[in-house]
Amino acid sequence: MSTIVPPASIDRHVHAHFTARAARYNESSHWVTDPALGALTYALVDPQPDSAVLDVACGTGLVSREFTGRVGRLVGVDITQAMFDQAAPFVDELAEAPGEALPFANATFDRVVCRQGIQFMRDAEAVAEMYRVLKPGGRVVLVHLCAYGAEDRDEYFEILRLRNAARRNFYLREDLSRLLTNAGFTSVAVHDYISVEDVDVWSNTGAIAEADREGIRAVYRTASPAFQRLHAAQVTRADGLERIVDNMLFGIAVGVKPR
């Protein structure tokens, strides 16, 4: 396993945020360890036994582990050592570098996957880098939380902003599609996956102030009818305790680099 020294251009805000979250990241949401989401991601990446696969923003290796022992070469890249140290058992190599400056030669990988990573990056630059390091005919898969559409966008983006102030980008499905198309990918398609999340668990990251967690709850309590319809969000109270459950949408965008 090799580690590449990170450039000085890494986002220190993102690095600090995920350093704070590293200890409890694997328990921070239902979706992070959801086997059905993992299986769908693997199926859409569609690697061959000899494929070289790159996991961008690999974090603790929860995506990488879907590919462990099933591909020819598996490389993880991230900027936060407290996160990627946990990925070491699942990958063949680790690189410490930002997604906007992947430390690999052109046309190195057969597949590139990134789950919940480009929201913290200069996303067009990061996707362009994924395109560069892919071989012709290679496939990219982006897995990111999305608003359902214009009707819930403002409220949901506020919820996401409050949960993670390091976030740069907020997405609709069509934003993911546009990123891939603009980078040169073809056969672009976006698949939906719904994750049922307990909002108090989801917001208890270890890197968010209680005032922001309460702000998230307030958005759900006063959500518009359109938001309630799209998210089928449930706010219940029993024995003085409030529980909020949201049906969160993942857009899974797939693109192919032309031969």
User: Tell me, what's the pLDDT at 8?
Assistant: 43
User: Tell me, what's the pLDDT at 3?
Assistant: 39
pLDDT in tens, 153-169: 999 999 999 998 888 99
Two structure tokens written together for 117: 């990573």
Three state DSSP letters for 116-161: CCHHHCCHHHHHHHHHHHEEEEEEEEEEEEEECCHHHHHHHHHHHH
Cα Rg for the chain, rounded, in angstroms? 18
Give the closest residue to 104 by CA, choosing from 52, 173, 45: 52
What percentage of the chain carries pLDDT values higher than 90? Answer: 76
The DSSP symbol for 124 reads H
Q: How far apart are CA 200 and CA 207, in angstroms?
A: 13
The average confidence (pLDDT) of the chain is: 91
Flag whether pLDDT at 191 surpasses 90: yes
For the chain, domains (ranges, CATH) are: 12-146+166-193+250-256 (3.40.50.150)
pLDDT in tens, 5-52: 344 445 766 767 666 565 566 566 888 889 999 999 999 999 999 999
